[in-house]
Amino acid sequence: MAKLSDKTEHQFRSGCSISRTLEIVGDKWTLLIIRDLMWHDKHTFKDLQDSAEHMPANILTTRLNRLMEWGLIYRTPYQDKPVRYTYHLTEAGLKTETVLLQIMQWGHENLGGGKYNPETRQSLSAN
């Protein structure tokens, strides 16, 4: 399993920590995958693909591979023929929770979000 510190050979476009982080997780889908793994108990490819956002299979495959490459998730086989995997957050992946909670809070306060409370793992009424 790769670790973030093992990626010293990666050529980032910028020396800025925000820019570097966004290079890894700043697309439309990646944080939603992390969200589903962290709070929605979605751990198979099918479960992740069938999330509320209906992510296309090719994009999900690409994002899962990137997250594994960067050491934010790992996979374990649960079926042999054909081989199928469950996906889980690593320690580094779990550390994104505080950032996701802050993004969620900002969305609740400024965009009328509020469909889910990760502390209670229950849906909320949308405002």
pLDDT digits (tens, 9 = 90+) for 94-109: 999 999 988 888 888 8
Structure tokens at 70: 């960067």
Q: What's the pLDDT at 8?
A: 61
Q: What's the pLDDT at 29?
A: 92
- Determine contact, residues 24/63, Cβ cutoff 8 Å: no
Task: Find the mean pLDDT for residues 5-22.
Answer: 76
Structure tokens at 53: 């956002």
Task: Find the mean pLDDT for residues 57-64.
Answer: 95
Of the listed ranges 33-37, 52-56, 85-89, the one predicted with least confidence = 52-56
Model's pTM, two decimal places? 0.82
Q: What's the pLDDT at 126?
A: 47
Beta strand extents in the chain (DSSP E only):
73-79, 84-89, 116-117, 122-123
- Determine contact, residues 64/85, Cβ cutoff 8 Å: no
Task: Find the mean pLDDT for residues 81-103.
Answer: 94
Residue 33 one-letter amino acid: I
Q: What is the DSSP letter of 44?
A: B
Which domains, ranges and CATH numbers included, belong to the chain? 16-123 (1.10.10.10)
